[in-house]
Copies of this chain bind each other. A is one copy, B any other.
């Protein structure tokens, strides 16, 4: 599986389309991922039409991949279909609650990653857009998602038109814990982040932003407390609106 080891996120795609038969085949295989009680608590909305991409783009902060990729996939946590089935079968569904949202989110994200691996194995490139849960309310309106359906991940898909460098990753010892969590001392933190901080591109990033440390680029510019709190509010409101609030 050198494929996974050598993968890179692709943000620039060729004009070439992705055949619907291939896409369906990859999605069908992706649905082999583990799913809670075999309930398959997800749906996938496939966006190909330029006008739909144009509507979605602002919800993803106009990242160019949305309009630039032949296919945009929105993976949704979905308890609607299952609940409708229950109601059609004299059964009263009890999935309008927070744990059900997380169960469906888990199902949806496992399938998302499975799809990404399969797509890359077939020569496609993907980009995972973390912005999906920043503007879920707007995505819900555009894709007409009913109650008990929440968008949780967006993937842009197409044939790669670039081969970017692989980003660095933290050393294994920074992530793994034997038997129980060994919390990090300041010395651990220094060691774990040393390589990341020493990279010329990261140092450049600090200097062009007039910051003192790389961490400040994250806290002061990229992922700010005020933004996170605002988006947490939107997310909670949207969960309520979609009926996952009990």
What is A's interface to B at a CB cutoff of 8 Å? 1, 4-5, 7, 9, 24, 27-34, 36-40, 42-49, 52, 76, 80-82, 84-86, 88-95, 97-100, 102-103, 105-106, 109-110, 112-114, 116-118, 121-122, 126-128, 130, 133-134, 142-146, 149, 152-153, 166-170, 172, 174-181, 183-184, 186, 189-190, 192-193, 212-216, 218-220, 222-226, 228-229, 231-232, 235-236, 246
Contact = CB atoms under 8 A, between A and B. Distances in A.
Contacts of A82: 218
Given A89-B216, A91-B220, A168-B38, A179 B47 contact: yes
B232 A99 contact: yes
B228 A89 contact: no
Nearest to A38: B167
B215 A99 contact: no
B229 A49 contact: no
A212 B88 CA distance: 12
A4 B146 contact: no
Contact of A98 (B27, B121, B176, B236): B236
Contacts of A232: 97-100, 246
Contacts of A231: 99
Contacts of A127: 34
A181 B84 CA distance: 15
Given A94-B228, A114-B4, A219-B94, A144 B181 contact: yes
A31 B130 CA distance: 17
